[in-house]
Amino acid sequence: MTNITAIYQGKLSTLDQIKVSPLSRAYTFSDSIYEVIPYFSGKPLYYEEHFDRMTQSANLMSLNINFESVVNDIKELAATLTNQDGYIYYQISRGVDLIRSHFYEDDLAIERFGYAMPARFPSSPISAMLCEDDRWGKCNIKSTSLLGNVLAMNKAKSQGCQEVVMHKDGIMTEAGASNVFYFDSTGSIRTSSLSENILPGITRQILIKALENSPYSVKEGNCAISDFNDSPCMWLTSSTKGMLPLTNLIGTDYKLEENYKGYHDVAGLFNSAMKLHLEALE
C-alpha cells in the first residue's frame, strides 16, 4: 500500500501515511459521501457527470463544501494515473467532532480524503444471488453508509457469488454495487426506474443514452423478479464493471445464453459510446 497516492485535507501523501481521527463523522456515523471516477489511459470517463452526482449528494446531505478544493484534490490524484487504467476514490465527510454526538456542530470543517488506484477492470461474466433489499431508504445519496450492501454481498460471497441483485416485495431495485439490466422474454431491455431506493449510476446513464434511437432502447419501470426466470441475459453496469454479464442468479432459474445476439449488439453500442467520449478528450 506504500505506493498508492492519497490526499487528505489537501495534503498529498501515500495511503499508508494517511491518519484519520476516530471521531471523524465518516467513521462514527457514516456521515459522508463518496465517488469513484474511472480512468482509461489517464483519461477520466464522464468526469462532469460524476462530479455533478457528488454535488447532488452533498446538497441532499446539506454539506457545505468548497468544491474548488475538491477539484484541486482530484487533479492532483489524477496526475498519478497518466497513461494508466484505474480509478479515483474520493470521500467527503461532514468533519471531525470534539466528542461523538448525533448533533453536529454548524462550524465543523469539511473532511476531504481520496486516493488514486491503478487497476484492471473485470470483463468476465460473474454470478450473483437474489436477496431482499433491506438498506436504508435514500440510496440515491452516494453515502458511505453501506452496511446493508456489505452484509448482503458477503452472504453472496459464501455462496460463491460476486454480487447480489436486490428487490423489495418482488420488484427489483439494484445490485449491491451496480445497476441491473436484463432482456425480458419479449426481447425488450428492462431496468428499474430511478427513485430514492436506487443510485443514479453514471454507467447506467451512459448505456441508456447510447441505446436511444436504436432497436434496443431501454424500458425503465417496475421490474418483477419473476421476469428473470425467462431472461436470456442479465448484466450489471458500474464505473468499475462497465457492462458485466451475469452467468446465473441464485434464487431464480436464470442462466446466461452466452451467444445471445442482443447482448453483443448492446455491448457494441455501449463500447462505441465510451470510445467516442474518451477520444473527444484528446
CATH number at residue 227: 3.20.10.10
Among candidate residues 118, 145, 174, the one where a domain is terminated: 118
Instruction: DSSP for 210-245, please give it.
Output: HTTTSTT-EEEE--BGGGGGG-S-EEEEETTTEEEE
Same domain, 48 and 172: no
Closest CA to 86 of 143, 142, 46, 45: 45
- Angle at the Cα of 83 from the Cα atoms of 81 and 88, rounded to 5 degrees: 25
Q: How far apart are CA 203 and CA 236, in angstroms?
A: 10
| Secondary structure class of 87 (helix, strand, coil) | strand
Considering the domain architecture, whether residues 70 and 146 belong to the same structural domain is answered as no
| Number of Cβ within a 10 Å radius of residue 218 | 19
The CATH number of the domain where 61 resides is what? 3.30.470.10
pLDDT band at 123, cuts 50/70/90?
Answer: confident
Q: For the chain, how are helix, strand and coil distributed in percent, rounded to 5?
A: 30, 30, 40
pLDDT of residue 3: 86
pLDDT at 2: 59
pLDDT of 93: 98
Nearest to 149 by CA among 139, 160, 159, 161: 139
Residues of the chain above pLDDT 70, percent: 99
Checking if the pLDDT of 259 tops 70, the result is: yes
Strands (DSSP E) found in the chain: 5-8, 11-14, 32-40, 43-44, 86-93, 111-118, 126-132, 163-168, 171-175, 179-183, 189-192, 218-221, 234-238, 242-250
- C-alpha–C-alpha distance, residues 198 and 215, integer Å: 26
For residue 107, report the phi and psi dihedrals to the nearest 5 degrees.
-105, 20
Burial class (CB in 10 A: 0-12, 13-18, 19+), 107: exposed
* Residue 101 and residue 60 share a domain: yes
Residues 166 and 98 both lie in one domain: no
CA torsion sign, 93 to 94 to 100 to 103?
negative
Over residues 118-147, mean pLDDT: 93
**pLDDT by residue (tens digit) across 100-114?**
999 999 999 999 999
pLDDT value, residue 25 = 98
The rounded distance, in Å, linking the Cα atoms of 115 and 4 is: 7
User: Is the same domain home to 140 and 266?
Assistant: yes
99 and 131 inside one domain: no
pLDDT, tens digit (0-9, with 9 covering 90-100), for 198-236: 989 999 999 999 999 999 999 999 999 999 999 999 999
- Please determine, for residue 1, whether its predicted confidence score (pLDDT) is greater than 90: no
Query: In which domain, by residue range, is 106 found?
Result: 5-118
Residues 137, 62 share a domain: no
Same domain, 174 and 262: yes
Q: What pLDDT is attached to residue 23?
A: 98
- Number of domains present in the structure of the chain: 2
Q: In this predicted model, what pLDDT tens digit does every residue of 167-205 receive, in sequence order?
A: 999 999 999 999 999 999 999 999 999 998 898 999 999
Question: Is 64 in the same domain as 187?
Answer: no
Of the residues 118, 142, 177, the one at which a domain ends: 118
Tell me which residue has cell 487528505: 8
Asked if 114 and 34 sit in the same domain, the reply is yes
Domain final residue pick, 78, 93, 118 = 118
One domain, residues 273 and 172: yes
Whether residues 272 and 136 fall in one domain: yes
